[in-house]
Copies of this chain bind each other. A is one copy, B any other.
């Protein structure tokens, strides 16, 4: 299995268009301690020929340009991108579907909840339904979106997308609003969970012994956006677990054996984005890597 990190940042990317926080200022100034990052998406393949996208970020056109394996190889219209799997309905995971217009066939896989949210948007009509086939995926039922890959959706504690929030928002529910993906190819077993509000024993038991875990690295502390006066929302309120703290992901995953652990979907406020920072060193000391755009993992 080949995995390419197309985008490693959370919604907004790094730097974020309207953000002058300490991290973003470093990025705007081209400081060598930080690398710019586009929004959350992976490309995976079993054979290096047919590729599957896990989430379609608003930066997808730029991500395809930066990734030769995803360029069209034929004289007319073509693409090695055969399908897209969505893990939730957030703008940073679905807006890239609009990039995939222009009469190209591919398969779209998402939960019934997410497909119903997409259907509330006429813009997605640019994806001709004769060419773009929608497939409902269900929790714990596996499917093979491209040759050589088997994927299973896992319900993880999450939240509905921001644009679908009603007056009373259930946060941390395990449902089809937010899923993680178990990916198998040959003997390899990997997990991609870019959004997760809290850890459960069920998740830990399922993932123990995996070759790779790509996990929600949105914030370092639960209140970091509040503390930086950028937002009134905690990570929990946005449906994400923080890295640090007694309830955080570093503590939560510490006793779970996984060959490689990588934080992904990293918000622009997260101090781990600064190489050499104390937060970055603490995360690396705990055995985690910080994903960056263009990172490649072979399993």
A126 close to chain B: CB less than 8 A? yes
Measured CA separation A84–B172 after assembly (Å): 36
Given A121-B122, A125-B163, CB of A20 within 8 Å of CB of B59: no
A173 close to chain B: CB less than 8 A? no
Measured CA separation A164–B103 after assembly (Å): 16
Q: Mark each residue of chain A from 174 to 211: 1 if its CB lies under 8 Å from any CB of chain B, else 0.
A: 00000000000000000000000000000000000000
Q: Return the contact of A59 from the options B36, B62, B228 (Cβ within 8 A).
A: B62
A255 close to chain B: CB less than 8 A? no
- Closest residue on chain B to residue A163 by CB atoms: B125
Given A61-B59, A120-B121, CB of A78 within 8 Å of CB of B18: yes
The stretch of A66-74, A215-223, A270-278, A291-299 that contacts the partner chain: A66-74
- Closest residue on chain B to residue A12 by CB atoms: B102
A279 close to chain B: CB less than 8 A? no
CB under 8 Å from chain B, chain A span 215-247: 228-231
Copies in the complex: 2
A142 close to chain B: CB less than 8 A? no
In the complex, are the beta carbons of B13 and A77 less than 8 A apart? no
A28 close to chain B: CB less than 8 A? yes
Point out the residues of chain B lying under 8 angstroms from A61, CB to CB.
13, 17, 38, 58-59
Q: Return the contact of A72 from the options B11, B20, B36, B94 (Cβ within 8 A).
A: B20
A75 close to chain B: CB less than 8 A? yes
Point out the residues of chain B lying under 8 angstroms from A73, CB to CB.
20
A115 close to chain B: CB less than 8 A? no
In the complex, are the beta carbons of A100 and B17 less than 8 A apart? yes
Given A17-B72, A17-B99, A123-B123, list of 19 further CB < 8 A pairs?
A12-B101, A13-B61, A15-B65, A17-B79, A17-B104, A18-B78, A18-B79, A19-B72, A21-B76, A38-B61, A58-B99, A77-B230, A91-B98, A91-B101, A95-B123, A103-B231, A122-B164, A125-B164, A126-B162
Q: List 15 A-B contacts (CB under 8 A).
A: A12-B102, A15-B65, A16-B102, A17-B100, A18-B79, A18-B100, A18-B102, A20-B74, A38-B61, A58-B95, A58-B98, A76-B228, A95-B98, A95-B123, A125-B164
A-B pairs, 6 with minimum CB distance: A125-B163, A121-B121, A18-B79, A120-B122, A18-B104, A20-B72
